[in-house]
Amino acid sequence: MLTQTTSRVLEPSDLDAALAVLDREPVANAFVASRVQVAGLDPWRLGGEMWGWYEDGMLTSLCYAGANLVPICATPRAVRAFADRARRAGRRCSSVVGPAEPTAELWRLLEPHWGPAREVRAHQPLMVTDRMPADIAPDPHVRRVRKDEMETIMPACVAMFTEEVGVSPLAGDGGLLYQARVAELVGAGRSFARLDEHGKVVFKAEIGAATDRACQIQGVWVAPEYRGRGVAAPGMAAVLRYALADVAPVVSLYVNDYNTAARRTYRRVGFREVGAFMSVLF
C-alpha cells in the first residue's frame, strides 16, 4: 500500500481504480475514458502510458502520456508531479490538451523545457447537450459513411484536419495512422456525411470518443463553397440525433474560442458551455 504522495506508471491491475477517477468527470474525460475502456492500461494497446498520482494510498489524479499529454482530474500537486515526469522523459507527444486550468499549469512548468509551442489555444469552450433542438430539423441527407466510401471521405477529413490543426495529417508517415483512425470510425458507424449530387462531401462530422455516459463530436467540417448556406446546423442536428439514440445520453464537443461561426451553430443546436479546454500544439 502506498502511504504517501507519489506518482507512478499504472499497470493493468490498476484498471478499476483508474476508471473510477475517469468516471468522476465523464464529459471532460470522455476521450481518455473511451480508450481505457477498450484497451485497458497496457501501454502497447493504450498507445501510451497512464501515470497515476496517489495521496494517502488513494489514486486521485491521472495523466495520459501518448500522442497527447492529457491531465485528468489533476490537482495542483499532481500537475507538478506529472510535469516533472514529463520533463525527465522528454517530449514524445504532439500536443498537451485537457481541462484549461490544469493544462495551463502543466504547460507553464513544461514550457521552459519543451517550448516554444507551435501554437497555444488557451481557451476552447467545452459544450454539451442531452437533447435534440426544438427548432432545427436534422438534415435527412446526413448519413453514416459506408466502408466502401473511404476514398470519398478522406479528402474532406484531410482538409478539415489541415484547416483546424495547421499541419497536414499526411506528413510524417504519409497519413497511415490518420487513415487508420478514419477507417476505425467509419467501421464503427461513427462517421457521418452529406454528399452532393456529384458524390462530393458537403458536410461531415464524427463521433470520436464514446463511453456509455458521454460521447464527443469531432471533425465538423463544411465544404468551403457551401459555407454560409445553412448546412452546418441541420447537419449537426442529424449527427446529434444519431449520437443520442445510439451512443450516449450526453453529447459534448470543444471548439476554438475564436471560431464564432461554429460556436453560434452549436448554440443553435442546443449545446451550452460548461467549461473550457486548452491545447498546446507542437
CATH class of 5-116: alpha beta
Q: What is the pLDDT of residue 60?
A: 97
- Distance CA(81)–CA(79), nearest Å, equals 5
Judge whether 49 and 18 are in contact, CB under 8 Å: no
Beta 272-281 vs 68-72: how paired, if at all? unpaired
| Burial class of residue 230, CB neighbours in 10 A (0-12, 13-18, 19+) | exposed
- Distance CA(244)–CA(239), nearest Å, equals 9
Residues 196-235 have pLDDT tens digits of: 999 999 999 999 999 999 999 999 999 999 999 999 999 9
Topology (CATH) of 142-275 = Aminopeptidase (3.40.630)
Residue 221, helix vs strand vs coil = strand
With residue 151 as reference, give the H or E element that holds it: helix 150-165
Give pLDDT < 70 ranges for the chain. Answer: 1-4
Q: What is the pLDDT of residue 4?
A: 67
Please enumerate in sequence order all residues whose Cβ is within 8 A of that of 145, keeping only pairs 6 or more positions apart, or say none.
152, 153, 186, 191, 192, 193, 204
Judge whether 275 and 100 are in contact, CB under 8 Å: yes
Residue burial 150-189, b: 16+ Cβ < 10 Å; e: rest: bebbbebbbbbbeeeeeeebeeeeebeebbeebeebbeee
pTM: 0.92
Grid cell in block for residue 247: 451512443
- Distance CA(205)–CA(186), nearest Å, equals 11
Amino acid at 117: A
Please enumerate in sequence order all residues whose Cβ is within 8 A of that of 272, keeping only pairs 6 or more positions apart, or say none.
127, 128, 129
Judge whether 223 and 236 are in contact, CB under 8 Å: no
Q: What is the pLDDT of residue 173?
A: 84
Of the candidates 265, 282, 253, which has an alpha carbon nearest to the alpha carbon of residue 124?
A: 253
Of the candidates 235, 209, 200, 198, which has an alpha carbon nearest to the alpha carbon of residue 220?
A: 235
- Distance CA(185)–CA(150), nearest Å, equals 11
Residues of the chain with CATH 3.40.630.30: 142-275
- Distance CA(168)–CA(214), nearest Å, equals 29
Q: How far is CA 84 from CA 28, 80, 235, 236, in A?
A: 24, 6, 44, 41
- Distance CA(114)–CA(95), nearest Å, equals 11
Residues 77-113 have pLDDT tens digits of: 999 999 999 999 999 999 999 999 999 999 999 999 9
